[in-house]
């Protein structure tokens, strides 16, 4: 937060840089403490971004004398921006496709995904990344020997990469409070640092500024750091982070407008030529809203109200421009805009959502990278247990649009693709309401097979009836010939 209380426009927050070290760096308590100090520099940014998403704003910090109006209105743009992009990005579940020969093996992976409520997990990761620019997940083996994964806030993770051309994680630290029965009620607690390397997992406890190993290192069964990073974009910037100053300006403008309206009703009464007063009356000015003024000959006599004149048109135009700028530079649609009427054509909608589509595409690319890392870790553990050699690259990952669209235009696009001789799988991929193309094609084959069986049964019955008819006719002909 800005230290200057007179300023209500956010200062630009420093984004933590990626930490890189050679892989042969020795992991010591001194190194861990140095990494923690670097990590702590970015904690204030994470807190501020979460504060805005939760409905906070700098305007809430504003102080004014008690006799002045001090409305502090907060417009929750951050949650609107994050939630809308999240719905468009992950509102429909991620789908996985494998070749027929891998379906049986992939069913084991699907069981692990289902066991960990993967759809909900993905939504939480997408929301954290949308707010703070990045999110993390730890893959582990639980007490029941099942492969599990769970989201972790970026405040609690330090991920160190090597210094290769394409950096890869080689050290991870998971930070949690060291809670005991003795300190559970205290505001500050010691920290536990779970340190992951490719081979081991070691727990450290901070006591009096010193790190002590809590227990002997455990074997890391995954053979690599089991921490998955989900980035919002290359810059690790949150969805609303670029427009925070505009949001602050909107909150300030709306709050001051409310102050002006409130103070308009609290106008001060001016009394001309009525000077029979004392200091006590003057001291009551702020409370009584009355001001005594001298009156010379020919000047005003009587009373009137002192009010502040405001230019409503200028103020409203300023707020309208701020509102439009927030949506424009956050690249999200204002769905209350009349331009998003229900009768808007599909082509027109594409252009209106073009900027949003670019953000969603970027999010999907980054999220796909995280999902591939998760699958790789799951398969490393699963292949050890089952003896299989299934590769995560044999799993295709697909995202589906969850944006407003014209259904008639969408169906026409599918029909056009089929009429053009394109594959049915490609044509069905254009159908926005269809989440799983493979299942739909399988259902179609099953229905076609069922109808074929019915058709064949009816045909057999008909042929049997015809055969019986022929037999009867032949018997009749035989009888006639005998006569």
- Give the pLDDT of residue 116: 96
Q: What angle do CA 66, 72, 78 make, to 5 degrees?
A: 160
Give the whole-angstrom CA distance, residue 301 versus residue 295. Answer: 7
Confidence band, pLDDT 50/70/90 cuts, at residue 2: very low
The tally of domains found in the chain comes to 2
Higher pLDDT, 417 or 407: 417
My answer on whether 297 and 372 are in the same domain is: no
Tokens of 280: 């006590």
Helical packing angle, 77-90 and 244-265, nearest 10°: 140
Q: DSSP readout, 343-390? A: T--HHHHHHHTHHHHHHHHHHHHHHHHHHHHHHHHHHHHHHHHH----
Q: Is residue 109, in this structure, part of any structural domain at all?
A: yes
- Residue 323 CA: distances (Å) to CA of 86, 141, 248, 290: 21, 48, 11, 38
Contact criterion met (CB below 8 Å) for 96 and 110 = yes
Lowest mean per-residue pLDDT among 4-8, 379-383, 424-428: 4-8
- Give the pLDDT of residue 301: 57
Q: Is residue 379, in this structure, part of any structural domain at all?
A: yes
My answer on whether 278 and 394 are in the same domain is: no
Give the whole-angstrom CA distance, residue 105 versus residue 335. Answer: 43
Q: Is residue 221, in this structure, part of any structural domain at all?
A: no
What is the mean pLDDT of the segment spanning 137-148? 93
What is the mean pLDDT of the segment spanning 423-449? 75
Contact criterion met (CB below 8 Å) for 306 and 292 = no
Q: Which of 346, 381, 403 is the last residue of a domain?
A: 403
My answer on whether 13 and 126 are in the same domain is: yes
What is the mean pLDDT of the segment spanning 379-404? 85
In this predicted structure, the answer to whether residue 206 has a pLDDT above a threshold of 50 is: yes
- Give the pLDDT of residue 258: 85
- Give the pLDDT of residue 6: 40
My answer on whether 246 and 272 are in the same domain is: no
pTM greater than 0.85: no
Higher pLDDT, 231 or 453: 231
Q: Is residue 103, in this structure, part of any structural domain at all?
A: yes
My answer on whether 152 and 274 are in the same domain is: no
My answer on whether 35 and 111 are in the same domain is: yes
Range of the domain at 288: 268-306
What is the mean pLDDT of the segment spanning 379-385? 87
- Give the pLDDT of residue 474: 55
Q: Name the nearest CA neighbour of 20 among 168, 126, 153.
A: 168
Mean of pLDDT over the chain: 83
My answer on whether 236 and 346 are in the same domain is: yes
My answer on whether 272 and 257 are in the same domain is: no
Q: Name the nearest CA neighbour of 27 among 221, 199, 229.
A: 199
My answer on whether 255 and 272 are in the same domain is: no
- Give the pLDDT of residue 18: 92
Give the whole-angstrom CA distance, residue 51 versus residue 140. Answer: 30
Lowest mean per-residue pLDDT among 19-28, 172-181, 279-288, 297-306: 297-306
Higher pLDDT, 207 or 397: 397
Higher pLDDT, 176 or 445: 176
Other CB atoms within 10 A of residue 178 CB: 16
Contact criterion met (CB below 8 Å) for 152 and 137 = yes
């Amino acid at each position: 937060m800005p230290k200057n209380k007179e300023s209500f426009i956010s200062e630009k927050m420093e984004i933590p840089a990626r930490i890189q070290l050679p892989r042969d760096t020795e992991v010591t308590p001194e190194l861990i403490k140095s990494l923690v100090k670097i990590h702590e520099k970015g904690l204030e940014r994470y807190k501020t971004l979460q504060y805005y998403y939760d409905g906070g704003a700098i305007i809430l910090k504003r102080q004014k004398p008690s006799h002045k109006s001090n409305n502090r209105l907060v417009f929750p743009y951050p949650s609107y921006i994050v939630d809308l992009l999240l719905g468009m990005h992950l509102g429909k579940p991620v789908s996985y496709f494998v070749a027929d020969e891998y379906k049986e093996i992939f069913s084991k992976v699907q069981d692990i995904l289902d066991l960990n409520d993967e759809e909900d997990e993905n939504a939480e990761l997408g929301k954290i990344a949308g707010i703070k620019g990045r999110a993390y997940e730890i893959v582990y083996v639980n007490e029941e020997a099942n492969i599990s994964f769970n989201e972790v806030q970026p405040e609690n993770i330090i991920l160190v990469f090597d210094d290769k051309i394409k950096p890869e994680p080689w050290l991870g630290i998971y930070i949690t409070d060291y809670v005991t029965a003795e300190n559970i009620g205290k505001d500050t607690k010691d920290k536990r640092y779970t340190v992951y390397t490719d081979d081991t997992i070691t727990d450290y406890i901070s006591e009096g500024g010193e790190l002590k190993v809590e227990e002997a290192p455990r074997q890391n069964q995954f053979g690599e750091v089991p921490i998955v990073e989900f980035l919002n974009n290359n810059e690790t910037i949150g969805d609303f982070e670029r427009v925070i100053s505009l949001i602050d300006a909107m909150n300030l403008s709306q709050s001051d407008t409310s102050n002006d309206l409130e103070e308009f009703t609290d106008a001060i009464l001016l009394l001309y030529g009525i000077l029979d007063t004392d200091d006590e009356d003057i001291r009551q000015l702020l409370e009584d809203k009355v001001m005594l003024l001298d009156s010379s000959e020919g000047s005003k006599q009587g009373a009137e109200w002192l009010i502040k004149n405001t230019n409503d048109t200028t103020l409203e135009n300023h707020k309208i421009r701020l509102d439009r700028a927030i949506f424009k530079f956050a690249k999200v649609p204002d769905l209350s805009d009349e331009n998003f009427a229900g009768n808007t054509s599909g082509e027109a909608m594409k252009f209106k959502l073009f900027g949003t589509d670019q953000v969603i595409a970027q999010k999907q690319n980054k999220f796909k990278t995280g999902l591939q890392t998760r699958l790789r870790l799951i398969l490393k553990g699963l292949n050890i247990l089952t003896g299989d050699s299934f590769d995560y690259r044999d799993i295709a990952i697909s995202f589906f649009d969850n944006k407003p669209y014209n259904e008639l235009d969408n169906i026409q696009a599918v029909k056009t693709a089929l009429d053009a001789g394109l594959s049915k799988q490609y044509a069905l991929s254009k159908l926005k309401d269809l989440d799983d193309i493979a299942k739909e094609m399988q259902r179609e084959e099953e229905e076609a097979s069922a109808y074929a069986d019915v058709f064949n049964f009816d045909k057999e019955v008909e042929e049997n009836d015809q055969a019986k008819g022929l037999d009867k006719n032949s018997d009749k002909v035989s009888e006639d010939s005998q006569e």
